[in-house]
Amino acid sequence: MTDKILELCRKRDLTIIFRPIGNDGVFSELMRLLDADPTKTEDFLCQYSNFVTELYLNSTSNLSEYILKIVLESDNMYTLLISEGQTPDINMNNCLMHELQFLQELSQLTPEDFTEELDYEGFLPMWEISDIDVAGSFVERMKLINRYGFGKWTKSNMFVLRDGEIIPVEHPDKQSLSDLYGYERERQAVINNTLALLDGKPALNTLLYGDAGTGKSSTVKAIANEFSEMGLRLIEIKKEQLCDIPAITEEISGNPLKFIIFIDDLSFSAGEDGFGALKAMLEGSVSAGSENMVIYATSNRRHLVKEKFSDRQGDDVHRNDTMQENLSLSARFGLRVNFSRPDKKNYISIAEKLAKSRGISMPDEEFFLKAEQFALSSGNGRSPRTAKQFVDMLLSERINGDE
């Protein structure tokens, strides 16, 4: 073991702040490689291979870039203090700089650093390094923590709740506002509300309701993408997870980022579980609301609760009061935006803009006729979704015709 590797091992054993990154697969294999004895050729080659395999599995062969990535994504005691607006004391800052220097030295390790004493002439898989500033990059990231976040919040701008844990979506929907046509007034109301949240101003829980296929869900996801670099994150939950909202609120409370709690296609049957949890959250309860979050829900129903004629009967003495409570759930959203089905003119306009964006052109009369025929024959009626399906069909026909 060379003096350089031996010194790195000593610094590693004194790591405190960045100890959590020891759970990272690449980092842990690199630590084992530091301990490997190059005089024991077979064992060393096995560990060398384990490390390179883990690095390659993360779609890179650049050690420097990977070390920088896990440092910037680290969820540790220092980032937690910074996220809460606290100032770490001098001892913690000294420890931080010592560890960042250690991580800088790790990021510059080359295959040759490990193989100086190795008695082996065969092929070895390699990795590369690059000129990076681990300490400088980390300090700058802490200054912008309200935009980039820390820990898992750096890994995606969209999250889901799974088994009670908020986890990042690896391949989030890439929907953009520029790809959405029509409903400019409706969409702008939601954008303005979101900007208020990002500016630290009062923002309203929002219900986007109306006909299917009008772009309600796409609007929310596009907004999450549009403002992700301003510190916006989206957490999507299912109706049956509404009882977990207080726990979500507790976890993100104090986080410097801003959050949309997104509930898609929301509706209730009378007395269904989750109704009370959402009602309490919208009205305000001892565990309700954080200033850095809003609830955005979409529904095909204005009143959210499915009402049957049989619900108007029963043995409830104050049945009318109960019905009014059910039907007024939507009124507890401070902002309600209606996405109604477009008329023929707006439907054609949306289809035209979509076609133009995809490079499709044809005589106006022919386009109008085909678009209307498609809406009628599809059985879905006029909507932005139908317009998109129509343009996709035209694009497919053009591609098949060129073959």
Q: Summarize pLDDT for 162-186 with one digit per residue, the tens.
A: 999 999 999 999 999 999 999 999 9
- Distances in Å between the Cα of 42 and the Cα atoms of 35, 51, 109, 244 are 14, 15, 21, 51
- Distances in Å between the Cα of 220 and the Cα atoms of 59, 204, 342, 350 are 31, 14, 19, 19
Query: Using CA atoms, how far apart are residues 251 and 245, in angstroms rounded to an integer?
Result: 10
Among 3.90.850.10, 3.40.50.300, 3.30.430.20, 3.40.50.2300, name the CATH number for the domain at 158-339.
3.40.50.300
Query: Using CA atoms, how far apart are residues 354 and 180, in angstroms rounded to an integer?
Result: 8
Q: What is the pLDDT along the chain (403 residues), one digit of tens a residue?
A: 788 999 999 999 999 999 999 999 999 999 999 999 999 999 999 999 999 999 999 999 999 999 999 999 999 999 999 998 899 999 999 999 999 999 999 999 999 999 988 999 999 999 999 999 999 999 999 999 999 999 999 999 999 999 999 999 999 999 999 999 999 999 999 999 999 999 999 999 999 999 889 999 999 999 999 999 999 999 999 988 988 988 999 999 889 999 999 999 887 765 666 677 787 777 754 344 578 999 999 998 776 766 554 454 555 544 454 445 555 677 888 999 999 999 999 999 999 999 999 899 889 899 999 999 999 888 788 999 999 999 999 988 877 655 4
Q: What's residue 279's pLDDT?
A: 76
**Burial 215-246, CB ≥16 within 10 A → b, else e:** bbbbbbbbbbbbbbeebbbbbbbebebbebbb
- Whether this model's pTM surpasses 0.95: no
Strands (E), 311-375: 335-339
Structure tokens at 326: 């059910």
Query: Using CA atoms, how far apart are residues 70 and 38, in angstroms rounded to an integer?
Result: 27
**Domain layout of the chain by residue ranges:** 3-154, 158-339, 344-402
Query: Using CA atoms, how far apart are residues 224 and 227, in angstroms rounded to an integer?
Result: 6
DSSP-derived secondary structure for 60-101:
--BHHHHHHHHHHT---HHHHHHHTT----HHHHHHHHHHHH
Query: Using CA atoms, how far apart are residues 361 and 349, in angstroms rounded to an integer?
Result: 14
Task: Estimate the crossing angle of helix 63-72 against helix 25-35, to 10 degrees.
Answer: 120
pLDDT tens string 369-386 = 999 999 988 878 899 999
